[in-house]
Amino acid sequence: MARLCFIDWDHQRLTALVAECGRNKAKVLESWTEETELSPNPVMAEELGQFLKIRLKEKKQVVAGIVALVGRDRLIVRDQKYPAVNQSEEPGLVRLMTTKEVLDDPEDVIIDYQPWTSQENRAEKRALVYVLRREMMATYEAMAKGAGVKLVGLCPRAMGLASALPQGQGTRGLVAVGHSWRQLLVVQDGAVELDRGLALGDTMAQEARRGFAVYGTTGGTQPGRIFAAGASHPEIDRLGESLEVAVEELTDLEGVPGNGPGAASMIALIGMARAWSREKPGVDFVHPRMPKNEISDARKRLFLYSGAAAALLVMAGAAFWWHTGGKESDIQRMQADLDKLKSDNKRYVEDEKRLKDLAAWDTANWLEELVDLACRVKDTKKMLITEVVATPQQQVAGQNSPYNGRLTIKGILPDGTGDENELERLDKDLRTAGPEGYYLTKLRRTGKTFDFEILVKTRSPSDYVMTPPPPPKKKDAKDSEKDGLKSGGASKETGTESKGAKAKIEPGAVGKEAKLKTSGPESEKPMAPGEKTKAK
């Protein structure tokens, strides 16, 4: 019997179960639920695996692999109709029809489906199709690698909930209430035919009634029995009043009650363990349904077509070639349409990513940050900034960090005038800036060089209150002339003006008689040494 770890890790809540599966029986060895600050994402996948590895070691459990459940909010679920074809061609046809209706590139998603058992003998079949992004598959694979085991299964949570229902023929409905999710299922003979999410709040009963009604109008059979998993007794009563049927509580699953916080996730894990012990679940992204190449049937068709062609070669040669030419033109036209759809689909995906990036743009005001930095670096002789790099800080899915910008500051302490205290003062100013902290700093020094790694918090323009010192005032020609007089003694030319008269002392007149030339009504006068010059 294989010992596996089944996990449902969603919205910072881990629900885990260790069970031995085999011989149509699953034996639960350990189970637990805990709140964490982590949730599955590509950035922290290996760290999540280390966290799970530590938990398994604490509980003294050694497992051969991990089977993970994925919530409906991480999947694309579609009710797909398709014509009845050979079983080997069905996966390719379902995949082709699904990729036409989703925005993602077909190479970026994994597609698996579960056919409706009530549509097996009809010309048009239906299936419940699940689409998962490959980046989520890579996240869980990296998580399993970090835990030191292999990812053996990745299934929708609906497969585990469906397997937890009582076995038997007929249609059954299920309303599952999780910690932060609600889900509505319709299961026909063990196969999920309806998977819908319900809103959180008091409208769950009305939405469940509407979901069952829509399912009945689209060709489905109304459920004969309806169960509730993880719902409280008042919620079960409201469901019964809204649906006008008796709602049964799903209980006694390896000692797990049907109501209470986290019960629905644990019930889904127990159901998945049971499904894994009997056979693989209906949908598994690790082993999705793929087109099969049945060589024997192809050879049979080849012999049949060859014999028919030999018998009717003379009589229907022309008609045969005309028919073949018409089919080839149809194929070419369909291929051209498919190529156009793929091109449009790829363009739409790029547009959507670009719009999401624009919608998510939220970072610091870098010009204001540079002004603040200039205000804090007061003396470049003590500390000199040589490089400033500003970049947006990527937000991690599931974590709301107020720091969404990053500053990298490099500088040196000049030889002879560098001051380490000035560097410490700058670090302290940055750490204490703002009432709730505008920065998270990390200072590294290597000799005379240093660099800061700073996380920056977005703030409004009114929060930037620091102003740089005014630049030194530039001296004009008159100021320069006055400074020259003060510093160099007597000037070569001194002019005074009064009532239209201008006075001028000629060069070389100091210590001798100086001639005062005036322009105006007065004539030249000799000026004795030491006599003060007066202008009227």
**Confidence (pTM):** 0.55
Return the SS3 of 359.
helix
Helix (H) / strand (E) element for 167: namely none
Burial of 304 (0-12, 13-18, 19+ CB in 10 A): exposed
Short-list 195, 123, 199, 208, CA closest to 158: 195
* Pair 275, 163: CB distance under 8 Å: yes
Identity of the amino acid at 60: K
The stretches in the chain having pLDDT less than 50 are 294-295, 489-536
At position 159, the amino acid (one-letter code) is M
Q: CA nearest 173: which of 159, 155, 197, 194?
A: 194
Cα–Cα distance list, 301 to 304, 317, 471 (Å): 5, 19, 90
Q: What is the pLDDT of residue 507?
A: 44
Task: Report residue 34: phi and psi, to 5°.
Answer: -150, 150
By C-alpha distance, which of 283, 338, 341, 273 is closest to 110?
283
CA distance 73 to 197: 8
Q: In sequence order, what are the residues at sequence separation of 6 or more whose Cβ sits closer than 8 angstroms to the Cβ of residue 341?
A: 100
HSE-up of 480 (CA within 13 Å, CB side)? 4
DSSP 285-344: SSS-------HHHHHHHHHHHHHHHHHSHHHHHHHHHHHHHHHHHHHHHHHHHHHHHHHH
Indicate the pairing of strand 2-10 with strand 65-70.
parallel
Return the closest-CA partner of residue 66 out of 81, 55, 75: 55
Neighbouring-strand partners of residue 154: 68
Tell me the C-alpha distance between 436 and 411, whole Å: 27
- Quote the radius of gyration of the chain (alpha carbons, Å): 41
What are 369's strand-pairing partners?
Answer: none
How much is the pLDDT for 477? 64
pLDDT of residue 515: 38
